[in-house]
Structure formats: structure tokens, C-alpha cells
Structure 1
Amino acid sequence: MTEQAATKKKTFRPDNHNTLGWKLFLVYDIFMMGIIVFNLFCLCANLFLMSSFGKLFFDEIHLPEVLAFYKSDLHPWVIKTEGWFILFLVAELSIRWLVAIVYKHHQRWFFFPFIHWYEVLAIIPYLRFLRLIRAGIIAYRLHELGYKVIPDNIMKKVLFYYRVVMEELSDRVVVSVIDGIKYELDNSSSHKKIIHDLVDHHRDMFAQALAEILQEALATELKAQQRLIADNVGHIVKQAIEDTPQLTQLLRLIPIAGGMIENQIQSIGQRLGENITNGLIDPLTEGTATQPNQIYTLISDKVSHLNIENKALEELVESAVYESLESLRKQVKIKQWQIELEQYDQSKD
């Protein structure tokens, strides 16, 4: 969207609630909500009055002449006004579509009827009930702006039941999809290929994750324990020299300096063990979590490219896939609205 178009759109739908344009839109929304509700009320009343149940009701209250007056004088006007109202909706929708095109409210000019599908379908006489959706959207928008068109308790109930319906629908779809996947894995001869493709697709991600884990866990721990490991190795080398009787006997043959040489050899051996240990550990402590060192990267790459044409490994992968699907199925079957309802009942008690 160009800067000029964005400016036009902002001008057409001002964000400042004190502007005249915003107030006109507010009045227009309230007007549309009112006439839609009134229109639907008239249609519902007409349906009742023209039905056999309505005739029975007025006969019971001994006012058949009122019903006869409605059928003869008022009913034709209801039909005419419904026709006028449909023409008004067509004209109003066309004008709003034209305005949306001019001010580029959508990326394509033909998006408008798809976004406002309920308004388009509500023009059809047999789908009049969809007009309630527009009235509800207007009421909800006014409610968000701080105008309490709908009482808070009613709004909470409406939102609660809306979430109930949406959760039940989405849960059934997800559970059906999961069951379908499990059925395919159980009955399809190509399920191994599916699993292999799944593993192959995630090999690089697995290698990267494993390298980061080795860098964060192993490298950090080695660096923390490096001094202790080096000291232990040094003591082991020193003890190994002490436990070599041939060397001790040979050095003792040297008069006076033999004991000193033996101590020096032990000290050199200890330092040599420490330096070798530090030299082996230092390369393993280099790198960061985002850029693991080459050793961990190589190890992770080799592990990720293991051939899974192995019965035990295939069973492991299949078990992980099945348990993941089952865990997801159990989670989806949890009714969040039931939990919310129980919490509400407990708060009342």
C-alpha cells in the first residue's frame, strides 16, 4: 500500500474518536444494527402471526379480529418493507464495496465480498438469519470501544458459548485427522516410507539441535570440571611412575642424586598428564550455543545421518510417532470449556 493510499485510508477511518468522521461512523453502525434487529423482529413476528400456532394463540386469547386486521392490512406492508430493505442492503453493500476499492481497504478489489460473505448471503431471503452476524459484529465492536450495547454478563455468556462451539468443532476435526493418520500408519504398506521421509526431513534440524545441546551441556561441564580432571590425570600419571618398581630400583642405583631424579620424574609426569588433559579438553570447550565447534558439529552430523534401516531403530521411531499422536489426541480431547465451567461453579460455591 502506497503512502498516499495509507493516508487516504486513515482519513476515511479516523483513529481519533473525537473527529466528526468517527462520530458519523459510530452513528451509522448504531443505525444499521438497529434496523437489522428491527427487520428481523418484524420477520419473526410475521412468521408467528401467519402460522397456525399464531391463529391458535389469538383464538385462545379471544382476539381473532386483531390477527385478521394484521393479515389484511399490515402483512402486505411487511412484505413490501422486506423487499425495500433487501434493495437497501444491496445498495449499501455496493457503496461500501466501491468505497473499499477507492480507499484500497484490501489488497485486491474483489476481496470485499469474500471477507463480508455473511452480508452477501444475508441478502438472500432464505438466509436472512445471517444478518444477525453483522448486528453481532457491530455490537461487539461498539462493546470494545466502551459502549455497553450488550450487558457484560450476556457478553460473557455469548463469548463462552462461542468458544464452546468453536472448540467442539475444531476438536472433532483434529481428532478425525489424527485418527486418519493412525489408520494410514496401521494399514498402509507405505507407512515405513512416511516415517523415513519424516526422519529424513528433520535430519538437519536434529543435527543442529544435537550440536547445540552438546555445546551447551557437555562443553560447559567440561570447562567447569577441566581443572579437576587435569589434576586427577596428573595424580594418576604420578602414581603410575611411583608404582613402577623397575624405575625406582634403577634410580636408587645412582648415589645421592637418585632420589632427586625420581621426584623430578614424578613431578614432570604429573605436569605432563595435566597438560595433555588440558590439550584434549580445550578443543571441546570452544564455540558457542549458536555456533558449536567443529567437533560437536561433526559428531551431530554423523549421528543424524545414521541409517534407520534397523528393526530396533524403526520400532523406536514408530513408537515415538504413535505416542506423539496419542498424546496430541488426549490433549485435544480435554474440554477447556468444561474446566472453565467447573472453575466458575466452584467460585460461586
Structure 2
Amino acid sequence: MLRFNRQNLNNSHEGPWLLLDLVMLGLLVINLLWLILDMLYASRAIYDTLAIHWPAFVDAYQPIHDNFALIDLIFIGIFLSEFCLRWVVSIVRKEYLRWYFFPFIHWYDLVGCIPASGARIFRFLRIFSILYRLHKYQIIDLRSTRLFRFMAFYYDVFVEELSDRIVVKVLSDAQKDIASGSPLLEDITRQVLAPRQRILCEWLAAMMEHMGSSIADAEHGATVREHVQSSVGKAVRDNPNISTLKLVPVLGGTIERTLESSVTDIVTQSLINLLKDVTPDKIEHFIDNGLNRFTTEEQALEDEVLLVVNECLELLKSHVSTQRWKSAFETQN
């Protein structure tokens, strides 16, 4: 049920304009109902029925029907006056970037004022715009009405069905491109990545140098050094040749621990030097000479990856095609 919130009406400081909206809403409803009545009255079947059963009504309404255009012009004059008043107010308030934007944004108000049967239907849109303004200031809550929930539900159904069809079509086209060996990946590599290869190499070299500096730092590199120490220590302890050092009396354990610490420092420092010594030229050389040599096994692996991508797209299509609105409809019922 539609309810008015008087407190929000007072807090909005738009009382006069919202009151004007209510007045215009009432006039629009009266005008539209009268237009429907006059249209029905003009039909031969309705006229004959009224003439037989309610001749007094025909005698009273016939002068109004004969002056239909003149009376409608009175309504049009009121609507145009209200439109011009709001236009002036919008200019004063600077609601739009340009003063002449108002009639283009509210075009349906002007079209609805055209005294032609085809244009009068746009007066319905004026009702919706007034209801929207009232809803915007929370004077009324359209969401609490059954009509709004009904229209919102079927609007969501329409949007979901339409969007699902579009998404499934796009994914199907992507699958066809992958299956036919689309050169999309090659085009991306050649046209997007290749012109920026130098910049990307410089960025990658800077990141690797930053990682090397972080590892060399006593605080930030502690985790990496602990991992290296753990790995090297395990490798030293598992090595059969080094394990014989324990057989050396007195100094065997000390030599093993010293060797473990030394190897840990060497590996850590080698990793730091490797990261710091990588230059953009070396990365670019690696890209130019190392990434373009594919073996038969690597090509088969690439084909398998494409199959995985295709299966993922197929699962995504089946998920998108699920009509979730049916579940919501069953839940409501």
C-alpha cells in the first residue's frame, strides 16, 4: 500500500514543489481518464449503448465531446505553464550544465503537450516522473506496492534472460575463435606487448632488483634467508659425503655447522646477486631467444591448456544459462 511520509516531506524543504507535483499528478490522472472516456464515447458501440440506456448522460456529455480540443488545450496550457516554471527554476538553481538542457531531458513533457492523439500517450511518462520525484525524497515508498514488486520482478526476468543470451553468445564466439586457432593471442603479443617490450623489461628488472635488495635487508629478507637456511641444512645433512664429517673426532660437528652456514650465505648471496644483476637487456634477450622455441611436447601442452580454457567456458555458459528467476518465483509462491 502506498503511504505518504509527512516527516520526510517537511525535512526535504521541497514542500511547495512536491505539493505542485501532487496537484499536477491529480490533473494528469483526471486528464488521462477523461481522454480514455472520450475515446470510448466516440466509438459507435459505446455511444449507441449510452444513448439507449443513459440518454441523459449523452445529452450532458455531448457538448463536452464537441469541445474536446478546446478543453484539452486548457489542460495543455496548465502543463506548459508548469513546465516553463520548472525550467526557470532549474536555470536559477543551475541544476544542469546548460540552461537549454532542461527541455531535452524532460522531452516527454513537451511531447505529451502536443494536441495529437499519438502524442498524448507520453503524459503517462509525466506521471512516472512525478512519482519518481516523490520516491526520491522518500515522500512515498514505491517499493512497498505490489505493482512495483510485480514490475520489478518481471523487469529482472527480462534483463536476466537478455543478458544470459548475450553472455552465452559471447562465450560461444570465444570458443569458436579458440577452436579455429584464432590469432588473438598472437595479435595481443605482437600489437600490444611487443611495442612495450622495453618498458616491460625495465619494469621487470626494477622489480627483481627491488626483490634482491629486500632479501639483502636484515629485516625484510629474514623469511627468505630462513627458508634457504632450512633447505640448505636439510640438503647438507642428507648428503652422504658431508655426513662423514661427523666421524671426525671433536671437530666433526663444528665443521658441519660451519659448512652449512657458509653454503647458506653463498646461496643467499648468489640469489641476491642474480636478482640485482638482471638488466633490461638480459630480460629482453631472454624473451627474444628463449620464449620462441617451442618443442612438440610444449605445443601439445599448449593445446591441452586451450582445452582446459574451452571446458571452463562451457561450464561458465551452463552456469550463466541457469534461470535463477525461476527459483525466486518458486520461493515467492
Taking structure 1 as the reference length, what is the TM-score of the superposition?
A: 0.62
CA distance in 2, matches of 1:81, 1:132: 19
- What is the one-letter code of the residue matched to 1:164? V
User: 1:196 aligned to 2:186?
Assistant: yes
Question: Could you tell me which of 129, 133, 145 is aligned with 1:152?
Answer: 145
Cα RMSD of the aligned pairs, angstroms, is 4.8
Question: Could you tell me which of 322, 327, 333 is aligned with 1:339?
Answer: 327
User: 1:68 aligned to 2:58?
Assistant: yes
Aligned in 2, Cα 1:322/1:35: closer, same or farther, shift over 3 Å? farther
CA distance in 1, matches of 2:121, 2:314: 40
Aligned residues: 297
Question: Could you tell me which of 93, 115, 123 is aligned with 1:131?
Answer: 123
Instruction: Give, in angstroms, the shift of residue 142 of structure 1.
Output: 2.4
Which residue of structure 2 lines up, in the alignment, with residue 231 of structure 1? 233
CA distance in 1, matches of 2:222, 2:103: 59
Aligned in 2, Cα 1:99/1:173: closer, same or farther, shift over 3 Å? farther
Q: Which runs of 5+ in 2 are unaligned?
A: 1-7, 212-220
Instruction: Give, in angstroms, the shift of residue 63 of structure 1.
Output: 1.4
> Quick check: 1:164–1:337 contact (8 Å CA) kept in 2?
yes
Aligned in 2, Cα 1:72/1:333: closer, same or farther, shift over 3 Å? same
Instruction: Give, in angstroms, the shift of residue 35 of structure 1.
Output: 1.1
Question: Could you tell me which of 75, 83, 108 is aligned with 1:93?
Answer: 83
Question: Could you tell me which of 15, 21, 35 is aligned with 1:43?
Answer: 35
Work out the percentage of aligned pairs sharing the same amino acid: 25
Which residue of structure 1 lines up, in the alignment, with residue 217 of structure 2? none
> Quick check: 2:12–2:137 contact (8 Å CA) kept in 1?
no
Instruction: Give, in angstroms, the shift of residue 28 of structure 1.
Output: 0.8
Aligned in 2, Cα 1:281/1:168: closer, same or farther, shift over 3 Å? same
Alignment of 1:147-226 (within 5 A): 147-148=139-140, 152-171=145-164, 178=170, 181-182=173-174, 185=177, 191-192=182-183, 194-198=184-188, 201=192, 225-226=227-228
- What is the one-letter code of the residue matched to 2:133? R
Aligned in 2, Cα 1:242/1:340: closer, same or farther, shift over 3 Å? closer
Instruction: Give, in angstroms, the shift of residue 266 of structure 1.
Output: 3.8
Which residue of structure 2 lines up, in the alignment, with residue 83 of structure 1? 73
Aligned in 2, Cα 1:224/1:37: closer, same or farther, shift over 3 Å? farther
- What is the one-letter code of the residue matched to 1:341? F
Which residue of structure 2 lines up, in the alignment, with residue 12 of structure 1? none
Taking structure 2 as the reference length, what is the TM-score of the superposition?
A: 0.65
* SS of residue matched to 1:109: coil
CA distance in 1, matches of 2:157, 2:102: 29
* CA distances 1:268-290 after superposition (whole Å, capped 9, x unpaired): 33333333344456789xxxxxx
Instruction: Give, in angstroms, the shift of residue 107 of structure 1.
Output: 1.6
> Quick check: 2:50–2:58 contact (8 Å CA) kept in 1?
no
Aligned in 2, Cα 1:80/1:335: closer, same or farther, shift over 3 Å? farther
Instruction: Give, in angstroms, the shift of residue 307 of structure 1.
Output: 5.3
> Quick check: 1:195–1:317 contact (8 Å CA) kept in 2?
no
Aligned in 2, Cα 1:132/1:327: closer, same or farther, shift over 3 Å? farther
> Quick check: 1:195–1:318 contact (8 Å CA) kept in 2?
no
* CA distances 1:178-227 after superposition (whole Å, capped 9, x unpaired): 279559948999x42x44344564798x9999x89xx8xxx998567444
Aligned in 2, Cα 1:300/1:274: closer, same or farther, shift over 3 Å? same
Alignment of 1:308-347 (within 5 A): 330=318, 332-345=320-333
* SS of residue matched to 2:235: helix
* SS of residue matched to 1:131: helix
Q: Which runs of 5+ in 1 are unaligned?
A: 1-15, 249-257, 285-292
Aligned in 2, Cα 1:241/1:72: closer, same or farther, shift over 3 Å? closer
* CA distances 1:273-329 after superposition (whole Å, capped 9, x unpaired): 333344456789xxxxxxxx8799989997799559996687578667766765665
